[in-house]
A = this chain, B = another copy of it.
Amino acid sequence: MPLVYVTRKSHFNAAHRLHNPSKSDEWNRATFGKCNSPNWHGHNYELEVTVVGEPNPETGYVMDLADLQKIIQERVIDLCDHSNLNLDVPFLKGVIPSSENLVVAFWNQMEPHIKGGKLTSIKLFETARNVVEYRGNL
């Protein structure tokens, strides 16, 4: 049976700051540069979630993308959109909100809720030129 990869793209806007509170301000400025800017900055994040599975012969769907969008919306977007990723998001508590850490955290938020297909990739565009992808713990 054929395996097909299905991707849904979403977006959200958020503020963040790269800062490791266990380190000195000096270390943070030297390490993160302007991404450590004290009063935050922000991004239009583009999020791509990919699920793989065999299309159901009755529907031609690996998974109804409306169901996938609902999981993305409830588990990630509703919690992150128009938020401060350092301060406002319970599942990011204690996480430095680098794109790398965000995709791993998003995976853990969504993976248990995806039925039918198997989550196989989460991509996050922080800017048009910086992209991060997590493919699970291989």
Measured CA separation A91–B54 after assembly (Å): 20
Q: Please indicate the chain B residues that have their CB under 8 angstroms from the CB of A24 in the complex.
A: none
- Beyond A34-B81, A61-B98, A101-B55, whether A44 also contacts B5 by CB under 8 A is no
Chain copies in the assembly? 6
Partner of A33, one of B55, B66, B95, B131: B66
CB within 8 Å of B: which A19-75 residues: 20, 23, 31-35, 37, 39-44, 55, 58-62, 65-66
Measured CA separation A18–B130 after assembly (Å): 27
Q: B-facing mask of A74-90, CB < 8 A → 1, else 0?
A: 00000001111001100
Tell me if A133 counts as interface (CB < 8 A to partner B): yes
Partner of A104, one of B4, B97, B99: B4
Q: 9 A-B residue contacts at CB 8 Å?
A: A2-B134, A7-B133, A9-B130, A11-B127, A13-B127, A15-B40, A43-B44, A55-B100, A65-B130
